[in-house]
Amino acid sequence: MKRTEIKSLLELRDFGSEVIVKGWVRTKRGSKNVAFIALNDGSTINNVQIVVDVDDNTADVLDCIHTGAAISVSGKLVESSGSGQSVEVHADTIDVLGIANPDEYPLQPKKHSLEFLREKAHLRYRTNTFSAIARIRHKMIFAIHKFFNDRGFYNIHSPIITGSDAEGAGEMFQVTTLPLDNVPKNEDGEVDFGNDFFGKAANLTVSGQLEAELAALALSKVYTFGPTFRAENSNTTRHLAEFWMIEPEFAFGDIIDDMDLAEDMLKYVIEYALENCKDDLSFLSKRQADEEKNKKAEERSMELIEKLKFVINQPFERLTYTEAIDILRNSKPNKKKRFQYVIEGWGADLQSEHERYLVEKHFKKPVILTDYPASIKAFYMKQNDDGKTVRAMDILFPQIGEIIGGSQREEDYDKLHKRIKEMDIPEEEIWWYMETRKFGTVPHAGFGLGFERLILFLTGMGNIRDVIPFPRTPMNLEF
Ligand code: ATP
Ligand code: MN
């Protein structure tokens, strides 16, 4: 007989039928005559209750069963008399597939701190919180591909190892096979990359955008969804050294189309989560409420599911960087110097505290800021006629700050060329990118969505290290 997964089993109603169920023990409790085992196999956040009559046959096997053990149970499906669940399994036979010695197994049937679980990242999938997040991550990957596929976008694999460091999105990780204890140098004392694996310096990519642009200028609508690496030493709750980014890029469109696409995509995937991740979201909602019990009422976040609905039910606020600076300059926390970085004037880069003020305090909804100063944005963004600003757009979310960064791209060869000169970007590194502006150039735009920032928002978790299975952050590469 085949195993029934717990997700399907909990929906069965043919009481009395024989079933086989396998999974990992969450808890075992009971009395002299009867034992109750809560079993989970990851197919759902819900456990199935296994009821075992204690007799000569089962006593020994029950003695080997502790939290974390893997077991196989065959028995009868019965209607549950307890509350919460409609079915349970009355065990006929139980096999222990893998024991978990309670003196060694680190997860106890009680609440563990997230910090503790980060040190047990190899086992934290076994908790409700981390299995819920893993399931939601999967559903969101699927929803993102579905969103773009349904709209005729092609998924492009952009390279992970790159020979250009023109992106300027932060520090890069170098990829090399040169011996670190004996690096070959040229006559000027510089590292001789001619002897390196690729015959030139190589890095891990910080973005697939430049390559996606090449594809968009032939296929019209493309997107990448790949790993991204940044060696920035920022130990925040929103930055990882290795994260996943979704980067759509489309031809024949401008910054308005870009904002519309980004807003539609965010709303679509949030709606998808509300429809398809109900059990996991309600668990995470209770978890968040529990975490915030001791906070003052005004410091608590909105209830998770209410927050998700709130975001999809209204248009995002759209305004320019210049308008935002005016709001920030006149804001209370700025006047009272309660911002860590006080906004002095136009040209300042916005920090997460400013972004969150605009979203959480001023507009009380997601915000799209456009037309940033050219000086704080990348070289490829389309220059506005004012000579100061570029057609950038960032989407700011409650609790997160920037979740998306995008722009219309500069399609004019001369303007782009002038800009890379000003910014000292070596032409020989991006001649191929420049050529797209020589041959059949068209208006085009795109953006980057940090996948983990989206998952942070959806799950209500507070730290990005907890929404990716194996976080890579400065001084941390244990698993
Ligand atoms: P930030 O200002 O928050 O550091 P950024 O401006 O460097 O972000 P972009 O280069 O615009 O980010 O990247 C696009 C998106 O990728 C961001 O909007 C964000 O969602 C995500 N992102 C950027 N850096 C990281 C990181 N280190 N870890 C996780 N996600 C990131
Ligand atoms: Mn950005």
Per-residue H/E/C for the chain: CCECCHHHHCCCCCCCCEEEEEEEEEEEEECCCEEEEEEECCCCCCCEEEEEECCHHHHHHHHCCCCCCEEEEEEEEEECCCCCCCEEEEEEEEEEEECCCCCCCCCCCCCCCHHHHHHCCCCHHHCHHHHHHHHHHHHHHHHHHHHHHHCCCEECCCCCEECCCCCCCCCCCEECCCCCCCCCECCCCCECHHHCCCCCCEEECCCCHHHHHHHHHHHCEEEEEEEEECCCCCCCCCCCCEEEEEEEEEECCCHHHHHHHHHHHHHHHHHHHHHHCHHHHHHHHHHHHHHCCCCCHHHCCCCHHHHHHHHHCCCCEEEEHHHHHHHHHCCHHHHCCCCCCCCCCCCCCCCHHHHHHHHHHHHCCCEEEEEEEHHHCCCCECECCCCCEEEEEEEEECCCEEEEEEEEECCCHHHHHHHHHHCCCCHHHCHHHHHCCCCCCCCEEEEEEEHHHHHHHHHCCCCHHHCCCCCCECCECCC
Share above pLDDT 70 across residues of the chain, in percent, rounded to a whole number:
99
Q: CA-to-CA distance for 463 and 472, rounded, in angstroms?
A: 13
6-109 against 126-171+206-316+365-466: fold identical: no
Please tell me the residue having the least CA distance from ligand 1 atom 27: 239
pTM, to two decimals = 0.96
User: Per residue in 293-325, pLDDT tens?
Assistant: 988 887 888 999 999 999 999 999 999 999 999
In whole angstroms, how large is the CA radius of gyration of the chain?
Answer: 27
Nearest ligand to the CA of 207 is: 1
- Would you place residue 128 in the very low, low, confident or very high pLDDT band (cuts 50, 70, 90)? very high
List beta partners, residue 389.
373
What are the residues whose beta carbon lies below 5 Å from ligand 2 (ion)?
405
With tokens 């819920």, the residue in question is 132
Please tell me the residue having the least CA distance from ligand 1 atom 23: 450
pLDDT: which is higher, 83 or 290: 290
Region 177-186: mean pLDDT is 95
- Would you place residue 166 in the very low, low, confident or very high pLDDT band (cuts 50, 70, 90)? low
**Domain regions of the chain by residue span:** 6-109, 126-171+206-316+365-466
Measuring CA to CA, which residue among 82, 112, 91, 1 is closest to residue 39?
Answer: 91
Distance 298 CA to ligand 2 centre (A): 29
Instruction: For strands 202-204 and 161-162, give the pairing.
Output: antiparallel
- Would you place residue 81 in the very low, low, confident or very high pLDDT band (cuts 50, 70, 90)? confident
CATH superfamily of 6-109: Nucleic acid-binding proteins (2.40.50.140)
Average pLDDT taken over every residue of the chain: 95
Distance 395 CA to ligand 2 centre (A): 9
Distance 394 CA to ligand 2 centre (A): 7
Region 197-201: mean pLDDT is 95
Q: Which atom of ligand 1 is nearest to the CA of 230?
A: 27
Q: Which of 77-86, 117-126, 134-143, 219-228 has the lowest mean pLDDT?
A: 77-86
Q: CA-to-CA distance for 64 and 54, rounded, in angstroms?
A: 13
Please tell me the residue having the least CA distance from ligand 1 atom 12: 405
Measuring CA to CA, which residue among 262, 288, 208, 309 is closest to residue 456?
Answer: 288
Pick from 165, 225, 453, 465 the residue to mutate for probing ligand 1's pocket: most ligand atoms within 8 Å of its CB. Answer: 453
Answer yes or no: is pLDDT of 167 > 70: no
CA angle 174, 176, 178 (to 5 degrees): 135
Please tell me the residue having the least CA distance from ligand 1 atom 11: 405
Q: Which atom of ligand 1 is nearest to the CA of 402?
A: 18
Please tell me the residue having the least CA distance from ligand 1 atom 24: 239
CATH superfamily of 126-171+206-316+365-466: Bira Bifunctional Protein; Domain 2 (3.30.930.10)
User: Per residue in 227-247, pLDDT tens?
Assistant: 999 998 888 999 999 999 999
Distance 450 CA to ligand 1 centre (A): 6
Assess whether the C-beta atom of 446 lies below 6 angstroms from ligand 1. no
Answer yes or no: is pLDDT of 169 > 60: no
Distance 447 CA to ligand 2 centre (A): 9
Share above pLDDT 90 across residues of the chain, in percent, rounded to a whole number:
91
Assess whether the C-beta atom of 243 lies below 6 angstroms from ligand 1. yes
Q: CA-to-CA distance for 212 and 375, rounded, in angstroms?
A: 24
Assess whether the C-beta atom of 448 lies below 6 angstroms from ligand 1. yes
Assess whether the C-beta atom of 404 lies below 6 angstroms from ligand 1. yes
Please tell me the residue having the least CA distance from ligand 1 atom 30: 450
